[in-house]
Chain A
Amino acid sequence: MSGRLFLGTRKALIEVERASKGWRIKRASFSGVQVPMLLPDARDGTLYAAVEHGHYGAKFHASRDGGSTWEERVSPAYPPKPADAPDIICSMRQKPVPWSLEKIWSLEAGGKDQPGTLWCGTIPGGLFKSSDAGASWSLVESLWNEPSRAKWFGGGYDWPGIHSIVVDPRDPHRILVAISCGGVWETLDAGASWSCHGKGIVNDYMPPELAEDPVVQDPHRIAICAAAPDTIWMQHHNGIFRSTDGGRAWTRFMNANPSHFGFAVAVHPCDPRTAWFVPGIKDEQRLPSGRALCVMRTRDGGETFEPCRKGLPQEHAYHLVYRHCLDVTGDGRTLAFGSTTGSVWISEDGGDSWGRLSAELPPIYCVRFE
C-alpha cells in the first residue's frame, strides 16, 4: 500500500500520509497559492508542483526532500510569436489563442530510462518537454503548428488545453495526449510527428456533420492500464469510451449507472476490465445525481457499471470532482478522490467503502499517490 498522497488545491499543496491509525494530513506547502498540478516522480523521488499565482502567472517548483523544502525551476514559456504566424481564432470565443502560458494542466514523467524527462500539457494547448527536470523547457512545435489546431476550442476554460498525457510504458517514444477540446493525439517518435485518432468517439453537442470529427472531440480525461497499455478508458463529455487498440478505435458505453457524465477516470493498473469514474448530472448542473455522491465502477470491461456509495454522503451533496482528482495506487486497492467543495475520501478496498479524510479543505484540483 502506498503511504503518501498529495493534494493540489486552491490554497496549498497538501501532503497526506498513512499512519498507524489511518490517513492524516501531515503538512501544507505554498500556503494561499493555487496548485493545479503536481507529480511525484517515482524515478528519483523528486516532487514537482505547478504553482499558480493569481497576479503573477504559472510557476514550476521542485522538492528533493518529499515536500519539506522547495526550489523554483523554470516554467514552460511559449516562444515569441513570429510576425508572419497567423492568429488562430478559437471558434467558441472568436478571439486569437494567445502564445502565452495560462495554466500547467498536466505533468507526466518520461520513460523509466529517461531520468529528468518531463512532459507538460498546458492551456492554451501547447505541449512542452523538459530533458533536465524542469531546468529548461521546449515547446513541441510539431503539435503547436499542426494545422488542425485551428479546430480546437476551449470548454470550461477560455482556450484549449492538454489535460492528459500518457507515456507508453513499453516505449516512451509513444505518447498519447488528450485535449479539451481537440481530441486524442498520438506520437510514435517522441513528439516529432502526430496523428489524431478517434474512430467511434462522438461529440453530441457539435453540429451533426462535425460530431464524429476526431479533432473536435471533448475527452475530459483518458487513463491507461499499466499492465495492458493498449486498453485506454476515456471519460468524455458525452459518455464513457474504451479503446483496446491503443486509442485508434473506441467503443461507447451508454449503460453507466447512475450517469455517463463526469470528468475523472482511473484504471486498475493490473486489470484492464476495471475502471472507476465519479458521475454527475450532465451537464449544466454538474452535481451528483440525486445529490447523492458515488464512485462508479466497472469490473467487467464496461458490461456493467455499479455505484459505490458506502461511506459517501447520500443527501444534500454538491460535490463535483475535477478530472485530475481521482487516483489509484499501483496495486489497484487504494483510491482517493477530492471535490470542489473541499472534501477528500479514501478507499482501501478497491472502492467498496470510503472514509472521509477532511471536509475542510480548499477546492481540490489534483490528487496523486506517491
Chain B
Amino acid sequence: MQPGFQAINRALSTLNQRQPMPTVEFTPNLARQTTTRSCRVEGATVADALRAVFEELPALRGYVLDDQGAVRTHVVIFVDAVAVCDRKNLSDPLRPDSEVFVMQALSGG
C-alpha cells in the first residue's frame, strides 16, 4: 500500500467518525490484473470519487476508463446497487454514504 494513501485514509477515518463519505470498491477480478483497494473518498459525483482514487492509484485509471475518460465498454459501475446512467461524464450524484462498486460487465466469453 502506498504510504500517502494510508495517511489520507487514516485522516479520513478520523474525519469519518463525524462525517460519512462515499465508499469505492472494486471487483476482485480487477485486483487480479492491477492494484486496487477499497477506499473512502470525498466526492459529490462518481467522477469526483474516481478522480480521488486515481490520484493515488494512477495505473488503475486505464482499467476502468477509456482514453476519453468514459467508462470502458465492458466495465459497469454501480452506485448504491444502481448502474450509473452517465457513462461518458460520470455525473451521477453520490450521497455522503453512497457505496460505489466497479465491476466487469457480463460480456464475451
Contact = CB atoms under 8 A, between A and B. Distances in A.
The B contact surface, by secondary structure, is loop
Interface residues of B, number: 19
B34 interface: yes
Contacts of A53: 33, 63
Contacts of B66: 57, 100-101
A80 interface: yes
Sort chain A's interface into a size bin: 10 to 19
Interface in B48-70: 59, 62-64, 66-69
B68 A78 contact: yes
A57 B68 contact: no
A72 interface: yes
Nearest to B103: A55
A75 B104 contact: no
Contacts of A101: 66-67
A59 interface: yes
B72 A55 contact: yes
Given A54-B108, A55-B74, A72 B68 contact: no
Given A72-B59, A75-B62, A55 B68 contact: no
Contacts of B33: 33, 53, 56, 59
B105 interface: yes
Nearest to A33: B33
A54 B74 contact: yes
A327 B74 CA distance: 33
A55 B33 CA distance: 11
A191 to B, nearest CB: 20
B90 interface: no
Given A78-B68, A81-B68, A54 B107 contact: yes
A56 B75 contact: yes
Max chain A CB contacts within 10 Å: which of B30, B64, B68, B107?
A: B68
A100 B34 CA distance: 20
A99 interface: yes
A56 B34 CA distance: 10
B74 A99 contact: no
A57 B62 contact: yes
A55 B67 contact: no
B59 A57 contact: no
A57 B72 contact: yes
A77 interface: yes
B106 to A, nearest CB: 10
Given A72-B34, A72-B59, A75-B62, A56 B72 contact: yes
B68 A100 contact: yes
A161 to B, nearest CB: 16
A57 B74 CA distance: 9
Contacts of B30: 55-56
A79 B74 CA distance: 21
B32 to A, nearest CB: 9
Contacts of A78: 67-68
Interface of B: 29-30, 33-34, 59, 62-64, 66-69, 72, 74-75, 104-105, 107-108
Given A55-B74, A80-B69, A100-B67, 19 more contacts: A53-B63, A54-B107, A55-B30, A55-B72, A55-B104, A56-B33, A56-B62, A57-B63, A57-B72, A59-B63, A77-B62, A77-B67, A79-B67, A80-B68, A99-B68, A100-B66, A100-B68, A101-B66, A101-B67
6 contacts: A53-B63, A55-B74, A56-B72, A56-B104, A77-B62, A78-B67
- The 7 A-B pairs with the shortest beta carbon distances in the complex, nearest first, are A55-B104, A56-B63, A55-B74, A100-B67, A78-B67, A77-B67, A100-B66
